[in-house]
Amino acid sequence: MNFVIRILYIAPCFTSACPRHTLTDVLGPLSQRLLTLFQLTRMALVFTAISNSMCEILLYARWQAGDGGSIRPFIGSHRLIAMTCVSAGLYGFGMSLNDIIDRRRDRLLASDRPLPSGRIGVGAAHVVCTGLALLALVAGWYVAHYQPGAQVNFGPTSFLLLVWTGALITFYDFAGKYLVALGLISLGLIRFFQAAIPAPQLPNLWHPLLLLNHVTVVSAVCYRWEHKRPALTRAHWWTVLGGLGVVDALCIAMVYWRRGLRVGASFAAALWITPALLLPLAAVVVFIILALWIRRRMAAEGRAGERRAGQVVMLYGLLWLIVYDVTFAEGYVGVVPGLLLLCLLPMAYLSVKMMRAWSRVLSLSQKPEFQRAR
């Protein structure tokens, strides 16, 4: 009987007799909280990190299976899900930690961010940041202990890479971003090591190396175009380019020493150099042309146009990481895996657009605030 009474009590809320504002009053705050959470963690672009990891798993599977072999025994759906959680956890941890550290600075320069605007408390932001870090660690432990078809256990190395990537993210958020050149290189190294977590053997060195160089160079160029402070000097440029050259040379030398000199393989075989590398190289050329076109198109607007060009190119540069993943998957693994990764590109782009539209709609729905004239 009590159950029937409760049903009769709430039934009007599902009919036209229910006040129109009831559903809005329920969904409005929930929508605002979800938007705040997504803005704090920048989850619209998490697909780029997921794509990097998925591509590395596919390259590892092809490396293990050999030419013409099936890659399915070396993938594992549980491993894909766990690595997705690792990528999302690391990405959200880094972004939320950055906002926590910059909350006082954002009060002056970005007062609409979740923390300075008061839409989320500092304590709640710490809970979100810690929870995402724990998610990455737990899922990373699973990835490290579940390596289907592996002849040698690289689980401990994989977990150490996860911890090292988290340490690099923490370093960048606390100090690296203020050190200009070192911070820019740190951004690239974060991408490099994050992509290498599921396959510390680095089956195809060119994939994480391209991510490293792309993120570092694009970040440096957009830093300059956006006129950020402290300004990039000639010494900074030489430090960035020289640092990249040293890291690239060390990585190539180490992989060749391990697979070439010790095993007796040729340089091309040790580094998996095939005509498939032409696809990523073509993608690099296309992006350079796209970036220059955007810069030239907005040059007429002066300094403001240059700043806006930097912001647009930075966004496209992050999305372009998925394009690189697709080219490596297409060239080295197969057409179908490449097409599956390609699906992440519109998902990432539409997520960015949806977040912006969502923010505008909620801002319009808020009650106007009036200040007393002085």
**CATH code of residue 207:** 1.10.357.140
Number of domains in the chain: 1
The mean of the pLDDT values for the chain is: 88
Cβ-based neighbour number of residue 279 at 10 Å: 18
pLDDT of residue 273: 95
One-letter amino acid at 51 equals S
- Token pair, residue 123, equals 């304590």
CB–CB of 133/93 below 8 Å? yes
Q: Rounded CA gap, 87 and 130, in Å?
A: 15
Please, are residues 71 and 147 in contact by the beta-carbon 8 Å criterion?
Answer: no
Asked if the structure places residue 370 within a domain, the reply is: no
In this predicted structure, what is the pLDDT of residue 25? 53
> What ranges in 152-277 are assigned the alpha helix state H?
155-174, 181-196, 206-225, 234-256, 267-270
Q: How confident is the model at residue 77 (pLDDT cuts 50, 70, 90)?
A: confident
In a domain, 10, yes or no: no
Full-model pTM:
0.89
Residue 315 structural domain = 44-355
31 belongs to a structural domain: no
What's the pLDDT at 112?
85
When pLDDT is averaged across residues 237-250 and rounded to a whole number, the result is: 97
Measured from the Cβ of residue 173, the count of other Cβ atoms closer than 10 Å reads 21
Mean pLDDT of 241-265: 90
Under 8 Å between Cβ of 321 and 51: yes
3 lies in a domain? no
What pLDDT band is residue 149 in, cutting at 50, 70 and 90?
A: low
Q: Is residue 363's pLDDT more than 80?
A: no
